[in-house]
Amino acid sequence: MAKKTATKKKTAGKKAATRFATKAGARKGAVAKPARKTAVGKSAKPRRPSGQPWQWSAVETAAAIRSGAISAVETVEAHLERMHAVNPKLNAVVVDLSEDALKAAHAADKQRAKGGELGLLHGVPITIKENVDYEGRPNFNGVPANKDLIAPSDSPVVRNLKKSGAIVIGLTNTPEFSFRGFTDNPLHGLTLNPWDPDITCGGSSGGAGSAVAAGIGTIAHGNDIGGSLRWPAHCNGVATIKPTQGRIPAFNGSATSERPMLAHLMSAQGPLARHVADVRLALEVMSQRDPRDPWWVPAPLVGERPKRPIKVALAKIPEDMDVDPSVAAALRQAADHLERSGYRVSEIDVPDINGVWQTWCDIITNETVMMQEAAMLKVTSEDFHKAWGGMKAKANVLDLKGWMQATAARNRHIRAWQLFFEDYPIVLAPTTVKPTPGPREDTVSPERVREIFWGEIRFISAINVLGLPGAVVPVALHERKPIGVQLIAGRYREDLALDAAAAIEKRVGVLAHRLWEQMG
């Protein structure tokens, strides 16, 4: 029986991976196919997607390189040209890896010419957030004092992306210790939002969100412990998925100590991209096994299909949250797009969102105070001190018994949400209930920080303590600034969240195309 069960699980995993592969047939290990033949036996020239190569999706780019429509070198050169044109104004990419990227591109073309096996992202340009290990480079994480933390090897997510054939063209900016929702630090400075310099690009994966929206790389790596993938996706008008805890392996060999348990359980690595299909493809690549992460879970990427029509819960917003009309309109629009796509949407209370958020705040704050605060405050800026002071002011100070009770409450919350998903497999919720704030809004006052995290982005941070997957997809522009919505699903059901995001994207379109017209 044990052998049969193992075989079934292995088969299910293979089927899931195949369903997540690109429509172009670029499965891991697939051999590049020759150009198609015409009626007279001549090889037809492979077709290139329309537009400039830096404007293509990751799916299109991978297929074009695989077919021979474009070389990896030409692709990377186009992305580097775009990066050098727009990044000086944005400051999204803070480490230029042009030289290494071109070397990798030449090697990728030689590999294809030999007819060898090609990975899912063979030759595709991407960026990496500068808070995970990149072999041979300091893991600064926005802090000048981290100059001696040299990565002995690539982190699992970097290793998986490189194994897939992706080419890293640069490292993106992050706030000090990746602890703010706004991307600024004394080492590299402020990152701007490509839509409008007067609003934040978000954080902590703000550099990643700004870069991919502006056309620097097809996929941007980021991570999320309190909204650091979903918040920048919203601010920059791109898509993302915060995966279930354990989906994508994580580890930094440069770290001087192991990460605290709950911080690890609430954090997730993930992709940001302009297209939902690219997010799905990147998730498949990033989630490959790495033995260095003891919490990694070999769960299938696609689960059983829920009963049709799929019921979606449009989360009722607590009365103490003041919802801007533009956000309310975007949520209604997203709900309408889902209804027109065959979903059934009902506005309903989700399980204790206020209590869930408070549990997140209490756990992460007390763990940080005990394990990291003193060391962080010694090497960080006054802006960091202001932001951190505001964040921890909303937390309850816990003794050992209180800490145990908080971790027990986490279990209760997770159970309540899992039972909720039995009836409503997807939750449609806001990212923020207010217009996107200014680029340094969290340094205004401790009260403003509490207002942002509790009063505005409550539905983002709360989800981390549950370890649930949450996608964000752009829905609308308000006063030429993007608004996204969040789609939350049960554990290891990223596929359901992304399916719903794709349904919305199909009707809204890709907002980055409008951004590029605006940027000129």
Residues 246/298, Cβ–Cβ less than 8 Å: no
CA dihedral 102, 130, 299, 485 (to 10 degrees): -100
Q: Choosing from 210, 228, 287, 381, which is the catalytic residue?
A: 228
DSSP E strand boundaries for 160-218: 167-172
Q: How many CB atoms lie within 10 A of CB 371?
A: 15
Q: Contact at 8 Å (CB) between 143 and 177? A: yes
Strands (E), 173-252: 219-224, 239-242
Quickly list DSSP for 392-454.
HTTSPP--HHHHHHHHHHHHHHHHHHHHHHHH-SEEEEES-SS----TTGGGS-HHHHHIIII
Q: Which residues contact 198 (CB under 8 A, 6 or more apart)?
A: 438, 439
- Cα–Cα distance between 248 and 160 in angstroms, integer? 10
Is 129 assigned a catalytic role?
yes
Contact assessment for residue 471 and residue 314, using Cβ atoms and an 8 Å cutoff: no
Active-site hit among 204, 210, 254, 381: 204
Distances (CA, A) of 73 to 65, 104, 218: 10, 9, 15
Phi-psi region of 200 (alpha: psi -120 to 50; beta: other; left: phi over 0): beta
Q: Which of 28, 57, 129, 242 is catalytic?
A: 129
User: How far apart (Å, rounded) are the C-alpha atoms in residues 128 and 132?
Assistant: 8
CA 167 to chain centre: 18
Q: How many CB atoms lie within 10 A of CB 411?
A: 9
Q: In this structure, are residues 268 and 286 in contact, taking their beta carbons and an 8 Å threshold?
A: no
- Cα distances from 351 to residues 38, 356, 466, 479, in angstroms, run 59, 8, 11, 33
CB of 273 closer than 8 Å to CB of 219: yes
How much of the chain is in helix, strand and coil states, percent to nearest 5?
45, 15, 40
Cα distances (angstroms) measured from residue 157 to each of 85, 222, 293, 444, 492: 28, 10, 11, 35, 18
End-to-end CA distance of the chain: 62
Residue in the block written with tokens 């591109």: 105
Cα separation, 276 vs 26, whole angstroms: 17
Amino acid, single-letter form, for residue 226: G
Q: How far apart are CA 400 and CA 350, in angstroms?
A: 30
Residues that are catalytic: 129, 204, 228
